[in-house]
Structure 1
Amino acid sequence: MMAARFDVDAVLFDLDGTLLDTVDDLHEAANRMLAELGRPLRTREEIRNFVGKGIPKLVERCLADPDVSAADFDAAVEVFRTHYRETNGSKSAPYDTVRETLDALKASGVSMGVVTNKAQDFAVPLLEATGLADYFGAVVCGGMLPNKKPAPDMLLHACELLSVGKERAIMVGDSGNDAQCAQAAGVPVLLMTYGYTEGVPVDTINCDGLLSKFAELPPLLGR
């Protein structure tokens, strides 16, 4: 499935699994947490399928313990955060053709933003560590608003920060989480085929087009 051209002034990107491959950092932090808590470790592929709805959901999926108390769960989240502060950005890297594509979009005058469920104190340092921070006029992170993706609030807030109407914006993500967010906001959405889909085959997710690499994006954007 390939999309038609979209006449837009702004492109809003998901972060993990879309711009950056971050699973190794998350996997290391998750297993350090689990080891500290005396729980079974997780495989890289398991962690890959757990990514998408923020740190608390990742920790919940790692623990897979419906009987864990609220206090113990909150403590586990803090243990994860402590370890992730050390691993965040250490192995993460932009996917193939991401930098070249962002350069091309910037040169064309398109505004760009990031809409991620990752908390601000991890997302912003990650963008800085990987050299991507300066591309984006808005970075909307988990915890900034009451509702995370797949609610539309974060995407709409990013449009406001960029002073672009939603009818002139497009979302680029990697999962049903991103697709549902964009659709709830009334914004078209393209999905990368290589990202983190929470175990759902990307070709089964309702969207406006699939991209196998970032370089396929600029030709679809007419202004």
Structure 2
Amino acid sequence: MDDGQLFPLPIKAVVIDLDGTLLHTAPDLAEAANRMLADLGMPPVSEKTLKSYIGNGVGQLIKRTLTGDMHGEPDAELFARAKPLFEKNYHEVLSLHSRPFPDVVEGLQAMRQTGYRLACITNKAERFTVPLLKQTDLHHYFELILSGDTLPKMKPHPMPLLHACEHFGITPDKMLLIGDSQNDTEAARAAGCHVFCVPYGYNHGNHVSLLDQDAVVDSLLAATRLIRKADL
């Protein structure tokens, strides 16, 4: 964090990532990806490997699954066949095993009670984001939900965070992003927001202590101890 910046940070709004921060979605994403591979006559991939592919939207997840490479580009025809198969399968298993991480609900309740305005900002497509939040009973906590296809750009571009600041009528220094990956820290720094990282998420297998964050917090509830409601 910046020299001279003291906890608790004065915050008016908290924006939270979805996959790997709010919800443990890896099992269902892996199930959908492996069903897609089976439909294509391709061998399955381990959940651990698929977990490392999460974080840059559905398209990238599919490409990584097909190629076994974080930056791989599959044959265009194969990708065109695979994408609707993945989407169909993911709709079928969307919340089969996906559950909030420990202290997520308690953290959201504490933030609401304190008076922070809350948003969920994710790179997951809206057609999956909204049903998933509703099915896991988290939707009602958020005043604003921005998915990977809501705006022209998604994280790590700062556009979603700046859009949230505009929505809340606040300056970026009064907003906190809680996430689990480099996408989150890069977006926050570019927007001028504070950022905390949880250590249990999907940062492509790398520990979040190596990222440019203000704090690593064990849970959303733990994050509430490092912030305070900013003066109006």
TM-score by length of 2: 0.91
5+ residue gaps in structure 2? none
SS in 1 for 2:38: helix
* Counterpart for residue 33 of structure 1: 36
In the alignment, is residue 46 of structure 1 matched against residue 56 of structure 2?
no
One-letter amino acid matched to 1:53 = N
In 2 relative to 1, CA 67–136 (structure 1 residues): closer, same or farther, beyond 3 Å? Answer: closer
Query: 1:153 aligned to 2:156?
Result: no
Q: Of the candidates 130, 135, 151, which is equivalent to residue 129 of structure 1?
A: 135
Residues 142-221 of structure 1 correspond to what in structure 2 (within 5 A)?
142-221=148-227
Residues in 1 aligned to 2:153 and 2:141: alpha-carbon distance in whole angstroms: 25
SS of 2:121 mapped into structure 1: strand
| Percent identical residues | 38
- Using the TM superposition, name which of 103-112 and 209-218 deviates more: 209-218
After TM superposition, where is structure 1 displaced by more than 6 Å over at least 4 residues in a row?
Answer: none
Q: 9, 24, 28: which one pairs with 2:27?
A: 24
Q: Any idea what the Cα deviations from partners look like across 1:8-56, whole Å, max 9, x if unmatched?
A: 1100000000001001110100000011111121111011100000000
Counterpart of 2:36 in 1: which secondary structure?
Answer: helix
Unpaired stretches in structure 1, ≥5 consecutive residues: none
Asked if residue 62 in structure 1 is aligned to residue 68 in structure 2, the reply is: no
- Does the 8 Å contact 1:139/1:158 carry over to 2? no
Whether the aligned pair in 2 keeps the contact of 1:190 and 1:208 (CA below 8 Å) is yes
Cα shift readout 1:70-108 (whole Å, capped 9, x = no counterpart): 232122111100100001111111010111111111011
Q: Contact conserved, 2:121 with 2:146, CA < 8 A, in 1?
A: yes
- Say what the alpha-carbon RMSD is for the aligned residues: 1.5
Matched residue count? 222
Partner of 2:8: 5
Residue 213 of structure 1 deviates from its aligned partner by: 1.9
Contact 1:138 1:162 in 2 (8 A): no
Aligned-partner Cα distance in 2 for 1:186–1:172: 14
Q: 2:63 touches 2:73 (CA, 8 Å); kept in 1? A: no
Deviations 1:122-162 (A, max 9, x none): 00001000100000000000111121110001111122223
Question: Which amino acid in the other structure matches residue 118 of structure 1?
Answer: K
| Shift, 1:67, TM fit | 6.7
Cα distance in 1 for partners of 2:75, 2:66 equals 12
Distance 1:67 1:92 in 2: 28
Aligned amino acid, residue 136 of structure 1: F
